[in-house]
Amino acid sequence: MDLFDLTGKVALVTGSTRGLGETAAKALAKAGADVAVCGRNPADLKRVPAEIQAMGRNSAGFELDVLSKERVKEGIDKALSHFGRIDILVNNAGTNYRVPAIEYPEEKWDLIINTNLKGYFLVAQAVVPQMIERGYGKVINMSSIFGKVGLAMQLAYASSKGGVIQMTKVMALEWAKQGVRVNAIGPTYFETDMVKQILNDPARFNFINERTPMGRWGYLPELEGTVIFLAAPASDFVTGQTIYVGGGWTVW
């Protein structure tokens, strides 16, 4: 058995039309998986599957609004109809808003918690039953270094990502004996659309580099190995864990 071979497996990745989600989707395809690409941008829902198909994998795009239970079910049902099953789920869709806690707007709090935390719950609830029926599945929840450490101006985001870590533990406990492993990844800063504006803020950019023991941001390919490991047979006896891909940020 090839411990890192995903040939014949089907993965679904939310928020996979850009950033970390796109990186995760393409990493799984490199390891052999067919991939359901999920997001809301019509152009990218064509572009990313086409690029995965060019690798020789089956891939298709599905509109998925994680804020709505009905829209989640609709999107997951379409993916299941196309692929027949989902073996690997990567919950990744997310957003952020940065202001001091005392000024935080309620509507922004609701948006971030509902997207980054409740959305993971809704998607897992729609996908995992068919995993349990087959006695096999891998769920990977994308958390953050800020699920473990605090940082000013990250009130709702850090709260949501801490919640993802606890959600991962509970899901892992409930589904362990049913063949479904649930783990989380906690990335640091990678150059994605969500955070690349920091490159124009020298003070923040330098703070991140100085705060990171390795002295730099992550490169997107450095996330791929962790995604593949948690999706592959190599991690079959690992569940309920969070792996931080943070250049040492969380060891302080």
Is 120 in the active site?
Answer: no
Catalytic residue among 157, 189, 219, 244: 157
Contact (CB, 8 A) for 40 and 64: yes
Instruction: Name the residues annotated as catalytic.
Output: 157
